[in-house]
């Protein structure tokens, strides 16, 4: 038991992930998701869609030269993580993600079946 | 709703963070309302970190999605002021499912621990973080006093 406990506490404590702020908008043909990920570069970002769960994971880095001491902190840089469930039909092959100025944008095209269709009214 | 959170498993830390965030959001909303009726804006966005050494300071600012040219940086004495705008998403003909990201005008002012050389202040913007390097004013740098032996 004691050994078990020691083994467990020796494992590195997993860093608590930061939950990024997210906006989601819907247009006629697409859904756009925006996530604020300041400090995250493309190399440190993973966006995955597994079944109906979209997962965003990113590691933020700050480039502070050696020899500086932190005097004041209002935010922390670390891991970002957010998982969102997609409950509507989207065109999975058409999903595109871009990262610019620390903001991730994911475009999810609506599946044909989910697009609103204008019904023609036939003249009699 | 199309996309919704699935972190339903109760995690007290996450829950705490969520409440904290919610409080900040409400505070922000309150500030916005107060600003509208002329009570001024509380200065809390964007968040900043401060780093120092003997030569000067580095201030880092979380500004995701802000064009660097939309930020004004001024230094007067020890006071560093940032002013700018984060443009909102175009909302014509779209429907919001989730809206958590902040937008609009911001003003942030912080007191540095020493005076700096305004002419030598440099700023760069990378991955949504603004880095401002502020060299310490020459006359305020710590001086090493040589002890003379007689």
List, in order of start, the domains of chain B with CATH numbers.
Answer: 1-42 (no CATH), 44-140 (2.60.40.790)
The percentage of residues in chain B with a pLDDT greater than 90, rounded to a whole number, is 47
What ipTM was reported for this prediction?
0.78
- In DSSP terms, which residues pair with B102 in a beta bridge? none
Between residues A89 and B80, which one has the greater pLDDT? B80
pLDDT digits (tens, 9 = 90+) for A43-53: 999 999 998 89
Between residues A46 and B147, which one has the greater pLDDT? A46
User: Which residues of chain B are within 8 Å of residue A98 when distances are taken between CB atoms?
Assistant: none
Task: Work out the pLDDT band at A1, boundaries 50, 70, 90.
Answer: very low
pLDDT at A112: 79
Looking at residues A85-90, what average pLDDT do you find? 84
Task: Work out the pLDDT band at A27, boundaries 50, 70, 90.
Answer: very high
User: Which residues of chain A are within 8 Å of residue B98 when distances are taken between CB atoms?
Assistant: 22-24
Write the DSSP symbol of residue A74. Answer: S
pLDDT at B138: 84
CATH class of the domain whose range is A14-63+72-113: mainly beta
User: Which residues of chain A are within 8 Å of residue B86 when distances are taken between CB atoms?
Assistant: none
pLDDT digits (tens, 9 = 90+) for B93-130: 889 999 999 889 999 999 999 999 999 999 999 999 99
The domain segmentation of chain A, as residue ranges, is: 14-63+72-113
Judged by a CB distance cut-off of 8 A, whether residue A51 touches chain B is no
Task: Work out the pLDDT band at B43, boundaries 50, 70, 90.
Answer: very low
Q: How far is CA B38 from CA B32, B103, B107, in A?
A: 10, 19, 15
pLDDT at A8: 46
A51 near A83, Cβ under 8 Å? no
CA distance A37 to A104: 7
pLDDT of residue B27 exceeding 70:
yes
CA distance B43 to B74: 16
Q: Give DSSP secondary structure letters for B121-134.
A: -EEEEETTEEEEEE
Task: Work out the pLDDT band at B6, boundaries 50, 70, 90.
Answer: low
- In DSSP terms, which residues pair with B23 in a beta bridge? none
Highest mean pLDDT among A11-15, A72-76, B20-24, B48-52: B48-52
pLDDT at B17: 67
Looking at residues B76-85, what average pLDDT do you find? 93
If contacts are CB pairs under 8 Å, which of residues 92-111 in chain B contact chain A? 93-102, 110
CA distance A56 to A66: 30
Task: Work out the pLDDT band at A37, boundaries 50, 70, 90.
Answer: very high
Q: Which of B46-50, B76-80, B87-91 has the lowest mean pLDDT?
A: B87-91
B94 near A27, Cβ under 8 Å? yes
């Amino acid at each position: 038991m004691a050994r078990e406990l020691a083994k467990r506490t020796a494992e590195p404590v997993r860093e608590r992930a930061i939950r990024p702020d997210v906006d989601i908008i819907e247009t006629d043909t697409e859904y756009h998701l925006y996530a604020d990920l300041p400090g995250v570069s493309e190399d440190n970002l993973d966006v995955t869609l597994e079944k109906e769960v979209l997962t965003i994971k990113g590691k933020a880095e700050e480039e502070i030269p050696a020899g500086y001491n932190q005097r004041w902190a209002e935010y922390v840089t670390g891991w970002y993580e957010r998982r969102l469930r997609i409950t509507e039909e989207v065109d999975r092959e058409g999903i595109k993600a871009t990262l610019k100025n620390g903001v991730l944008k994911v475009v999810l095209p609506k599946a044909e079946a989910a697009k609103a269709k204008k019904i023609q009214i036939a003249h009699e | 709703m199309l996309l919704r959170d699935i972190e339903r498993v109760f995690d007290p830390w996450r829950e705490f963070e969520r409440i904290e965030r919610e409080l900040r959001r409400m505070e922000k909303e309150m500030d916005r309302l107060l600003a509208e009726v002329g009570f001024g804006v509380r200065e809390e966005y964007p968040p900043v970190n401060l780093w120092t050494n003997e030569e000067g300071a580095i201030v880092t600012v979380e500004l995701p999605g802000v064009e660097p040219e939309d930020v004004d940086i001024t230094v007067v004495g020890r006071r560093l002021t940032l002013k700018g705008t984060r443009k909102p998403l175009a909302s014509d003909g779209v429907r919001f499912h989730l809206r958590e990201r902040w937008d609009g005008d911001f003003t942030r002012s912080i007191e540095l621990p020493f005076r700096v050389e305004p002419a030598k202040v440099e700023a760069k913007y990378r991955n949504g973080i603004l880095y401002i390097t502020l060299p310490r004013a020459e006359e305020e740098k710590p001086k090493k006093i040589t002890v003379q032996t007689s």
